[in-house]
């Protein structure tokens, strides 16, 4: 009896898990097993039942996927619509954004896939660089699904020591190991009827991957130290900032598990590929930071705004958010590049002056008291700042006042104080041209 000989934990190959041909083959084996056996013992019946259930799950999975694909094909081509219309469409269909901001086509595409995947129980794999919003997307999927009012349990697979992994995920029985002083539920049991978010799935050791695969196939777990199977019904959303396909090639991630988890695969683009969203995010996080810190929103100088629009954000949206919170904490009414973290701050004329000041040279060398040194350094910084500004605008004071968001007559007064003549900078600009 071929089917009975299959090892229980063996995973269907990626193809057979989601192909009709693979399913029919398995059903045929099951049929012939039943047809030719004169008598079945109870354990064999149990085994066959288990295999029939697993087949049923695979059929369900396939049919969900089919419906998903059909819905996608039947849809009018959303990418032809403007981003505003696509977002509006989501809103009209009562999509829950959970605070996800942005109109970038790649982000909208991810949201539209999430919209369709949410009501199904299909596993979703979300990948993308650190800080691109993977966890937020997992919450979006949960919130838009039929399990929204059921538990949402998040597990960071990278943060659990190998020896505690099984107990953390599946729970344990009292006395199962030293320190197991009570029966304890694992994350899968806690997520029963709801969603389990397996974050940093790429960090799961191979031993944990085998165990996870078994849960995905059998929909049941066993607490450590117990033989009793416990049925669990959880929707799985996994996330990683690793390239799991490459991990599979390198033998670091099981390919069968990869296919099981990635029935729906969402990739979130890095922020540098959706720069068009930066102004919106600056405003959004600016307001959020102001509300959190109970202060008025900080204005950004044009120079700082330009910097933030062009910066590379290796930490993606999380980094942008942290920068805005920092600025909201450190700046007065107006923030400028000096409020940026030192490691990303552009080297400017101003910082050159400050370096000079720190080195104790130049401008403060003749100061005889601390207050005089401070005043001199501050005056010098102010002058360098104005000078560079005038150079940048080719000596047009009105433009400089606009850039600095300063009153024009106040600016004129400062220029006079430092003996700066705007026409000198107009000449410089003309000479260069």
Ligand X SMILES: Nc1ncnc2c1ncn2[C@@H]1O[C@H](COP(=O)(O)OP(=O)(O)OP(=O)(O)O)[C@@H](O)[C@H]1O
Out of 3, 47, 127, 131, the only residue in the binding site for ligand X (CB under 6 A) is 131
Residue 99 lies near ligand X (rule: CB under 6 A): yes
User: How many other CB atoms are found less than 10 A from the CB of residue 358?
Assistant: 11
d(CA 141, CA 118): 5
Secondary structure of residue 147 in the 3-state scheme:
coil
Nearest distance, CB of residue 362 and ligand X, angstroms: 43
Q: Which does 101 bind (CB under 5 to 8 A by kind): ligand X, Mg ion, none?
A: ligand X
Residue 317 lies near ligand X (rule: CB under 6 A): yes
d(CA 394, CA 73): 55
- Closer residue to ligand X, CB minimum distance, 58 or 127: 127
CA distances from 229 to 56, 121, 174, 218, 319 (A): 19, 22, 16, 10, 44
* Among 127-135, 182-190, 271-279, 415-423, the segment contacting Mg ion (CB under 5 A): 127-135
Length in residues, the chain: 433
- Closer residue to Mg ion, CB minimum distance, 135 or 273: 135
To 5 degrees, how large is the angle CA 232–CA 179–CA 155? 40
Nearest distance, CB of residue 324 and Mg ion, angstroms: 19
Residue 378 lies near ligand X (rule: CB under 6 A): no
* Strand arrangement, sheet containing 124-127: 152-156, 195-199, 235-240, 124-127, 264-267
- Closer residue to ligand X, CB minimum distance, 134 or 211: 134
Residue 100 lies near ligand X (rule: CB under 6 A): yes
- Closer residue to Mg ion, CB minimum distance, 198 or 340: 198
Contacts of 333 (CB under 8 A, 6+ apart): 296, 298, 299
- Closer residue to Mg ion, CB minimum distance, 103 or 135: 135
Out of 135, 233, 273, 382, the only residue in the binding site for Mg ion (CB under 5 A) is 135
d(CA 351, CA 328): 21
Residue 145 lies near ligand X (rule: CB under 6 A): no
- Closer residue to ligand X, CB minimum distance, 111 or 215: 111
Contacts of 146 (CB under 8 A, 6+ apart): 119
Out of 86, 87, 134, 339, the only residue in the binding site for ligand X (CB under 6 A) is 134
List contacts with Mg ion (CB under 5 A): 135
List contacts with ligand X (CB under 6 A): 99-102, 128, 130-136, 241, 317-318, 321
């Amino acid at each position: 009896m071929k089917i009975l000989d299959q090892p229980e934990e063996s995973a269907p190959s990626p193809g057979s898990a989601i192909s009709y041909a693979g399913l029919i083959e398995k059903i045929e084996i099951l049929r012939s097993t039943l047809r030719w056996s004169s008598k079945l013992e109870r354990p064999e019946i149990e085994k066959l039942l288990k295999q029939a259930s697993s087949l049923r799950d695979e059929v369900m999975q396939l049919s969900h996927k089919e419906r998903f694909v059909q819905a996608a094909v039947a849809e009018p081509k959303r990418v032809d619509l403007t981003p505003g219309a696509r977002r509006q469409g989501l809103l009209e269909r009562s999509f829950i954004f959970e605070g996800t901001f942005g109109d970038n086509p790649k982000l909208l595409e991810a949201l539209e896939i999430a919209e369709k995947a949410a009501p199904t129980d299909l596993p979703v794999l979300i990948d993308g660089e650190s800080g691109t919003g993977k966890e937020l997307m997992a919450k979006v999927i949960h919130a838009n699904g039929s399990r929204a009012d059921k538990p949402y349990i998040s597990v960071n697979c990278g943060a659990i020591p190998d020896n505690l992994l099984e107990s953390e995920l599946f729970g344990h029985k009292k006395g199962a190991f030293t320190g197991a002083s009570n029966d304890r539920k694992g994350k899968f049991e806690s997520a029963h009827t709801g969603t389990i978010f397996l974050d940093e799935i790429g960090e799961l050791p191979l031993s944990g991957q085998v165990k996870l695969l078994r849960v995905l196939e059998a929909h049941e777990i066993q607490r450590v130290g117990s033989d009793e199977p416990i049925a669990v019904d959880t929707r799985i959303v996994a996330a990683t900032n690793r390239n799991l396909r490459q991990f599979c090639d390198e033998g670091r991630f099981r390919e069968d598990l990869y296919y099981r988890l990635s029935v729906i695969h969402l990739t979130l683009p890095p922020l540098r590929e959706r720069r068009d969203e930066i102004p919106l995010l600056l405003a959004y996080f600016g307001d959020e930071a102001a509300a959190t810190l109970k202060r008025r929103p900080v204005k950004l100088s044009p120079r700082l705004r330009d910097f933030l629009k062009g910066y590379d954000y290796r930490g993606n949206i999380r980094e942008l958010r942290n920068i805005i919170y920092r600025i909201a904490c450190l700046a007065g009414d107006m923030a400028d590049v000096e409020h940026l973290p030192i490691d990303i701050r552009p080297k400017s004329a101003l910082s050159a002056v400050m370096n000079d000041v720190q080195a104790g040279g130049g401008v403060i060398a003749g100061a005889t008291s601390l207050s005089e040194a401070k005043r001199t350094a501050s005056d010098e910084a102010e002058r360098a700042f104005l000078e560079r500004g005038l150079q940048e605008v080719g000596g047009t004071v009105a433009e400089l006042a606009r850039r600095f968001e300063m009153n024009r007559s106040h600016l004129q007064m400062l220029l006079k104080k430092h003996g700066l003549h705007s026409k000198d900078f107009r000449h410089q600009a003309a000479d260069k041209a």
